[in-house]
Chain A
Amino acid sequence: MYAFDYQKAKSVADAAAALAKNPDAKALAGGQSLIAAMKLRLAAPQALVDLGSIAELRGIKADGKHLVIGAMTRHSEVVFSGDVKKAIPALAHLAGEIGDRMVRNMGTLGGSIAHNDPAADYPAAVLGLGATVETNKRKVAADDFFKGIYETALEPGELVTSVSFPIPKRAGYVKFKQPASRFALVGVFVAETGSGVRVAVTGASPCVFRVPEMEKALASKFAPESVANIKLPAKGLNSDIHASPEYRAHLVTVMAKRAVQAALG
């Protein structure tokens, strides 16, 4: 690993000030994506601002309508949270499917959505539930947050502080794991929310996206057969050694069916 500077931030304000002062600095959350990227020089920040000791960024709160999860909350805290299991069991399930137990003990919600890996799980839940991402500067709707491959609406130095998930009537998430990395080859999050049905797909394309045709079909009948014959065009979907665009398109339909089934319990 190359040499860099390191600083432990005491508060969100402290971290924001450090990041504002040095444009070549980056926030460090769990480090599960960033440390690996730095070893490979895919990322090469000159300094790291560690968010690990900022208590205000951690924790899970439920108020009957929303579940608010702090950016530094570890995946495993979401898996085992009674509040999450009660309010949005699909979200606890999703967190439990991320990587492996050791990764889940370090990786955080804020890190995952800020990183916006095309095959990451959390972006599907944030978009699928129509959540609101809160930063140290503003609130951003999920529909405006995920911009492209590893790209979000975050400005340089802007920090995710928490995510507010509206509690849906029901929701389900099913992913087809890429067996070596455990990332989603394709993952589909389906939710019936107060403001309609939402379907979000991760892993299939450079960035998480919604499928309006499936949403419409499920709004008239929330059942697996409603999506069984809806096929996405393969054009534009990801292609790599693990799967062709055609196979990913096929998986979207199959995972969507299973996610609806999971939501129905």
Chain B
Amino acid sequence: MPVKVSMTVNGKPVAAEVEERTLLVSFIREHLRLTGTHVGCDTAQCGACTIHMNGNAVKACNMLAMQAEGADILTIEGVAAADGTLHPMQEAFREHHALQCGFCTPGMVMSAIDLVKRHPKPTEAVVRAELDGNFCRCTGYHNIVKAILDAAPKVAAMR
């Protein structure tokens, strides 16, 4: 029996009828067609599907769309400013060449924004430890870590 689900995604209210078993990541990608959120593993390991729910980073492949009923969701598509200016975290990833194939990048950026929110002045060790839930198969992480360390004060200054 389909159920009604509604939430706010990137500032816009959305509502749909979905099957109960619909994962949040399927709702975002297949119903809303926001395909910036990736599915790498589908087993809660890789972090490619990371989005924010009510301001906290979560793995959208490991929860039901219904668990986000009424929530405020932010995906990678909603991170840049309305005029297209990149978020400082995105800009830092660009600047530091923190991506190669780009598959992990949306999840990395969403996780990194949450990371610097919780640790406004992270050390390199903190950044590395807190990236536990995001895998990158290309970069070897060095430039990702550099980008996050560079962006941290700029993200803090946004608030």
Contacts and interface: CB of A to CB of B under 8 A. Distances in A.
A101 B130 contact: yes
B139 interface: no
**Interface size, A (range):** 20 to 34
Interface stretch (B7-15, B32-40, B43-51, B87-95): B43-51
B23 interface: yes
Q: Chain B contact residues: over half helix, strand or loop, or mixed?
A: mixed
Interface string A49-81: 010100000000000000000000000100010
A252 B28 CA distance: 44
A102 B63 CA distance: 11
The 6 tightest CB contacts between A and B, nearest first, are: A100-B133, A6-B20, A100-B132, A105-B56, A1-B21, A102-B59
Nearest to A100: B133
B62 A6 contact: no
Interface string A1-25: 1111110100000000000000000
Contact of B20 (A5, A101, A105, A182): A5
Contacts of A80: 118
A182 B132 contact: yes
Interface of B: 1, 3, 19-21, 23, 42-45, 47, 50, 53, 56-59, 62-64, 66-67, 69, 111, 114-115, 118, 130, 132-134
Pick from B45, B53, B62, B63 the residue with the most CB of A within 10 Å. B62
A106 B66 contact: no
A240 B7 CA distance: 43
Interface string A27-44: 010111001100100000
A234 interface: no
A106 B132 contact: no
B63 A31 contact: yes
Given A3-B19, A39-B43, A102 B67 contact: no
A105 B57 contact: yes
A4 B115 CA distance: 35
A103 interface: yes
A36 B20 contact: no
Contacts of B69: 8
Contacts of B130: 101
Nearest to B55: A105
B20 A3 contact: yes
